[in-house]
Each structure stands twice: as C-alpha cells, then as structure tokens.
Structure 1
C-alpha cells in the first residue's frame, strides 16, 4: 500500500504541507539478503561519550534540536522508498542535532543493503545542514535472551551502521527483568566510547545510563514530578517525547531536560509542518526554564 508523502509532526495544531523527494540514485531493493560485514565504518564515529566523564555531560548540545522518526521497525519498512526519502527531506529542513529511532531492529536482526543505503543517505544529507548531527539506533532490551546475545548484536550493528548513540525501549523494565542484558549492553557501548540510554516510565532508570527518555502524557506537572524524582538519584539529561496530548504548555523544571519531537507521516487533522517544528524547537527546547534556547 502506498503511503502519502505528506509529513506530519506530532505536537501542535498546524496542517503540514507535502514534502516529496526522490532518490538521486536508485536505492537497492529490499531482498532481505543481509548486508556484508564491513569494517569501513570504523573510525567514522563521532562519539559524544568519553569513558570516565560525568555521565551525559556532553549530551546537552546533542539534544538541543532532537527529532524522532522511524521508517523501519522490527522487520518491517513502514513506507515505500519515495515516502522514506520524504522523511529524510523533512529532517534536512529541520537541521536536527539528534535524529532518534530511524531504525528499530529486532534482536539479532542483520541490516540489509537497503538499510545501509537509507542510513547513509539520511546521515549525509542531514549533515550538510547540521554537521554535528548525531543518529541513534533503537533496540528492545527485553527481546534479548542473554548478555552475550545483545553484545554480539551491538557489535554487528556498530560494524555496519556506526551509530553515535544507542536507544533502548523499555529500558527501566529491562533492568528489572533482564539485568544481564542491560549490564552487558552498557559495558559494551561504553567500552566503545558511546552513550546509551532509553525509555523510563517510572522514577528509576538503568544503572550507568547516559540519558533517559520520557513520554509526555498531557500533564506537564506529572512529567515535572517524574523528572524531579529521577534527578534525585540519576542526574542525567532527559528527552521528553512530545505527543498530541502534551501539545499545550512548556515544562518548567531544574532537571536537564529537552524535548524530542516525533515526526510521522499520514493524513490526520493535526500535525506539525517542518517550518512550525523548527520554530518550536528554537523556542521550547530545552524545557528547563533557566536555559536559553538553542541558536
């Protein structure tokens, strides 16, 4: 089924315009054939984590203009190639400092040539307008059966994609239910000089995380309370994922906190045009009251 290339960004009431684009060169078909292992990506890292530094100290500038957009999740491409390229075109227009969750791989899944082509194109095109942009890869820690399993997968993805950060969904649940997976993933990522973090729905986050991600549920006061509780034990940078229900008002807290805005495609009645999102990023991030907006 062909998906409309109209771009929407959740978070405010503004009808988005079409954002179409085509590949300048043909994208490899997704045959499902795994991509060959290559070491060419090594040395291309632009890591923001330095072992031994204060956790998350360097992530503030990275999260200043954060956008979350997923084109592939758990074995399925969400859009055709033209629409996928429209997502990249929208990202370029936004000049984000951080692109989150472009891909979310299943446990042990190996990228195909199409993954590599989309990943390379997204990074190269966004870097033309934002040279310091960082990309993360999303994973689910609860999907792994052991520490060695997640380490093997991290090494494989790092060889092929060379992400700057690693983002895990259900990160707080995984520490309670799969501690070996969380500890092994954290050790592997930090040994490679990268930050690691993930989603937390409560007042705890996995030990030695570099950042946390929260979902704004429409009540800014509840998020502020959660951030304050987290900060007592985990003084990290936090990303608050904006959703339609949390569109009104800005959060005020002394916790290091930034908004990340989810870019989606579709034909709903509300959305965020790329130009509207760019304006909001300048005004609303970070969400701590005493910090100046990014220039």
Structure 2
C-alpha cells in the first residue's frame, strides 16, 4: 500500500489537509472484500495519526461508527485502537469515552470494541487507564443489551491480562463483581466472552479469589446453577490445580470422633488433612 509507506517514511512532505482528504478516501477501503486491503487501511490510519496528530483522524473515525455496515464499524474500531497505540492512549481515550454517551447501540458497541482492541494492543500500559475506564465498563456490564455485556467482558479479559501483577487488584475485583452475574447467560457468544473474562481475571486476581466465588454455588439445590459453577471450577482446576490448595478449607483430623481401632484390634491410621505452612508454600 503506497500510502502506508509514504505516511511511515515521508509524512512531512504532505500537508495535513491532504492527509485528511486521504483519511476520508481510506474509509472506503474498509469496505474492501480482501482482508489484506482492510488491514493495510487500518494500519495507515495509525501512521497518518502519527504524522498529523490523532485529533482530526479520531474525529473522522468516531463519525464512522454511526454507519450501519458491520464490517466498516469493526474495521473502524481496530483503526481507533491502532491510533491509540501509536499516539499513546491518553490522546484518544477522552474522546472515545465521551462518544459512549451517545444513546445509540452501534456507537456504544463500537466504543467498547475499540477499548477491547486497545487494551489488547497496549498490554501493561493499561495500568494507567484501568481506573478511568472502570465506570464505563460497569455501565456496559449492567446493560440490558447482550452485545454490550459481551463486548464489556471481552474488554475486561484484555484489561485483566494486561495489568496482571501490577497492583490493580482492587479495580479488577470490582469488575469481577459486575462480570460474575453474567455466568448464567444462555447465548453462546455471550457465555464465551464471560468465561474468557473470568479466565483473564484468574490470571489478574489469582485462582483463589475466583474459588471463593465458585464455592457458594457448587452444591446449590438447582442443577442448572450447579452445572455452571462446576464448569468454572473445572476451568480453575485445569489451569491452577496446584495453587488452589491454599484456598481449600482446613479439615482437622477427625480421629476423636472415630476411634482408631479396627475389628481385629489393629490401630487404624487416619488421614490428616491439616496442612503446614511449608506445604502451602510448595
């Protein structure tokens, strides 16, 4: 893509006005059937934003979230995320979050998707922005629209994986409280996103925090509730069976209740479930 090369290597030889004209032309490229063309187009937005600053480019892209064509909107959200990554997220985040206030489903879903891609791209830089986006994600995870909750969970997943081990556990725990009620969703896309978020939070918060949430439902009277909770527990067990030992309840040796002799008079050795600190550490 020649624009991509020029924007990367010789952006200063073209006026800002001309770059903006190219931006509008590039929006048409997002409709292309070939994935390679769409990919080059979204990358070019990043280079143009680097050349002339993110504000004008961002304004063009945010306007494009209003269109009906889904492919256009998805490509636009990727372009916004690339602009955020190229020009540092703080230049983009205020305008993107402000756009969420528009009471229209497509725009709000586009904003959430852009945030999801952005956190996927920026990784551990997310620690500087998690407290800023938390209220927005709260709103998305409580929304009546399923797609809001699905995209919100996807964002939480990338956010949790990005800030793992960076001391943002308070915000992650807060978001977990909003993600958790969605584990009973029926729609396959939503439930996949919810479980992805829970798995991301397993990494960000540690498995024992999730175990504390799971314990309450493992033996619930309703089968449908038990099934969901066991599904989460099985995931925990597959990924973190060793770390879960710390979270299990401490069971004392019950030999006082069961006298330790068998019928033939030999002493019976009981299982002793008390764990030493060393065992927990190991």
Which of 1 and 2 has higher RCO (CA within 8 Å, sep 6+)?
A: 1
TM-score, structure 1 as length reference: 0.29
TM-score, structure 2 as length reference: 0.30
The structure with the largest helix share of the pair is: 2
The structure with the largest strand share of the pair is: 1
